[in-house]
Amino acid sequence: MTNVPAIAQERSLRTDLPGPASRELTARKNAAVARGVGTTMPVFADQADRGILRDVDGNCFVDLGAGIAVTSVGAAAPRVVAAVRDQLEHFTHTCFMVTPYEGYVAVCEKLNELTPGEFEKKSALFSSGAEAVENAVKVARAYTRRPAVVVLDHAYHGRTNLTMAMTGKVVPYKDGFGPFSPEVYRVPGSYPLRDGLSGEQAAARTIEQITRMVGPSNTACVVIEPIQGEGGFIVPADGFLPAVARWCSDNDVVFVADEIQTGFARTGAWFASQLFGIVPDVVTTAKGMAGGLPLSAVTGRADIMDAAGVSGLGGTYGGNPLACAAALAAIETYEADGLVERAQAIGEVLMTRLRAATESDPRIGDVRGRGAMVAMELVDPGTGDPDAPLANQVAGLARSRGVITLTCGTYGNVLRFLPPLTIDDTLLADGVDTVLAALTETGSAL
Ligand code: PLZ
């Protein structure tokens, strides 16, 4: 196992962006790929390792997105590469539902051990995050024999029909794609910057709405991202999540934590639920779990998970052997390389720099997050209203300087930082400082 990165860990631009090779590929993409599949960056990837992604023109970008919180161990983590190569030489696929294999069972054992809760757990594996969310709803309905699914404002749970219904933002995710799955009810959550409520107050409002609009006897599950991701990296006020989880348990409603973005060390804990002192009945995971290979999971109390009948859960590719080998190697990497602690250290670097910037720039309305899941919400300093054009301008400028920068938020005004946990401190500082310099250059609105 080599410790030498495959690419020098330095930002460097060799061509104007996009370079000639990316321009050519973009022309082919525009002709061949449906326009609905949007792309953030105008450049095509050639190689990626740790904190750097190199494009087909040889430009090296600081990666502050990790493929939307996926390549936390890096996009070429040595253990993952070796494990996938080894599995490839045995078999690529048998279908677990036809001829099972050990890797699938081993990943489930690991998930049952790592996710919060001391009770007996079971897991099932799938390929995408949306599929995991769908299956969490399936088991919750099978267990409770109730139909309703409760989700929060600003939620993001996926792009399939049921998960589109669960996702809050219409444009672009749901635009023109309805009608959506019934029995999905949306209630307000906790967004301290915008609602000014304490965790207890926000939870009382959430619970009151569920009780009044849906009724616990109709509710199969409440599905919550402990820190909302696409919706704006919204960290709920202290006390919000425990109060909602308590209400669920008092009413035999399944509490599902969607940890697809927050899970696997991202927030400086194995799972964000642990940061808020909650123990979900069911947890959905994906993204960071398998070092870049498509794998997702539902893990929960054994009695809930076993409520679905035999052959009620599955899918041809669910728990693909290559993805399982990758997950076991990625989990070993998190453990052996101390990446939970590394996420905390990354959080400190990010928070220190971003908080220092807020002192001199009133357009930074909020800096928030946990561990290596951090965001800066940009606002009009006079009114506090979201400033999406500014966020887009800053992200665009940072990208043109060689930093992969993502935005998020219902209002599109949040810049988010999700570096691979294997990025080094110098590169991380360079990436953040480039984004902050781009903000300064857009000039103060005051
Ligand atoms: N739940 C909490 O963050 C995926 C989606 C990006 P899939 N987030 C990135 C986009 O524009 O499609 C996500 C998530 C949470 C579920 C999902 C869905 O996971 O693997 O994209 O299906």
First to last CA, the chain: 53
Interval between CA 72 and ligand 1 midpoint (Å): 15
Mention every residue, 6+ apart, whose C-beta is less than 8 A from residue 148.
183, 184, 185, 214, 218, 219, 220
Interval between CA 446 and ligand 1 midpoint (Å): 36
For ligand 1, mutation pick of 70, 72, 131, 156 (most atoms within 8 Å of CB) = 156
How high is the pLDDT of residue 446?
45
Please list every protein residue whose CB sits less than 6 Å from any atom of ligand 1: 68, 128-130, 133, 156-159, 225, 229-230, 258, 260-261, 286
How high is the pLDDT of residue 445?
47
CA pseudo-torsion sign 61, 262, 409, 442? negative
Other CB atoms within a 10 A radius of the CB of residue 281 amount to: 26
Ligand 1, atom 16, lies closest to the CA of 157
Give dist(CA 181, CA 417) in Å, integer. Answer: 32
Interval between CA 75 and ligand 1 midpoint (Å): 18
Q: Report the nearest atom of ligand 1 relative to the CA of 258.
A: 2
Give dist(CA 91, CA 94) in Å, integer. Answer: 7
Q: Report the nearest atom of ligand 1 relative to the CA of 225.
A: 2
Interval between CA 68 and ligand 1 midpoint (Å): 8
Residue 231 DSSP symbol = T
Give dist(CA 374, CA 346) in Å, integer. Answer: 10
For ligand 1, mutation pick of 125, 174, 230 (most atoms within 8 Å of CB) = 230
- Ordered per-residue pLDDT tens for the chain, 446 residues: 457 999 999 999 999 999 999 999 999 999 999 999 999 999 999 999 999 999 999 999 999 999 999 999 999 999 999 999 999 999 999 999 999 999 999 999 999 999 999 999 999 999 999 999 999 999 999 999 999 999 999 999 999 999 999 999 999 999 999 999 999 999 999 999 999 999 999 999 999 999 999 999 999 999 999 999 999 999 999 999 999 999 999 999 999 999 999 999 999 999 999 999 999 999 999 999 999 999 999 999 999 999 999 999 999 999 999 999 999 999 999 999 999 999 999 999 999 999 999 999 999 999 999 999 999 999 999 999 999 999 999 999 999 999 999 999 999 999 999 999 999 999 999 999 999 999 999 976 44
Interval between CA 67 and ligand 1 midpoint (Å): 11
Interval between CA 167 and ligand 1 midpoint (Å): 10
Give dist(CA 25, CA 42) in Å, integer. Answer: 10
CA pseudo-torsion sign 185, 161, 72, 418? negative
Could you give the strand order of the β-sheet that contains 121-126, starting from the edge strand earlier in sequence?
121-126, 296-301, 282-285, 254-258, 219-224, 148-152, 184-187
Cis upstream peptide for 20 (omega within 30°): no
Q: Which residue has the tokens 């409760």?
A: 150
Interval between CA 343 and ligand 1 midpoint (Å): 21
Q: Report the nearest atom of ligand 1 relative to the CA of 230.
A: 3
Nearest to 438 by CA among 409, 415, 418: 415
How high is the pLDDT of residue 326?
99
Q: Report the nearest atom of ligand 1 relative to the CA of 130.
A: 22
For ligand 1, mutation pick of 37, 287, 296, 414 (most atoms within 8 Å of CB) = 287
Interval between CA 241 and ligand 1 midpoint (Å): 21
Q: Report the nearest atom of ligand 1 relative to the CA of 158.
A: 18
Strand ranges, E, within 28-113: 45-49, 52-55, 60-63
Antiparallel, parallel or unpaired: β 254-258 and 282-285: parallel
Interval between CA 259 and ligand 1 midpoint (Å): 10
Ligand 1, atom 7, lies closest to the CA of 129
Give dist(CA 133, CA 274) in Å, integer. Answer: 20
Give dist(CA 402, CA 399) in Å, integer. Answer: 5
Instruction: Identify the H or E element spanning 24.
Output: helix 20-32
Residues 203, 252: contact at Cβ < 8 Å? no
Antiparallel, parallel or unpaired: β 296-301 and 282-285: antiparallel
Q: Given phi > 0 = left and psi -120 to 50 = alpha, else beta, which region is 145? A: left
Interval between CA 440 and ligand 1 midpoint (Å): 31
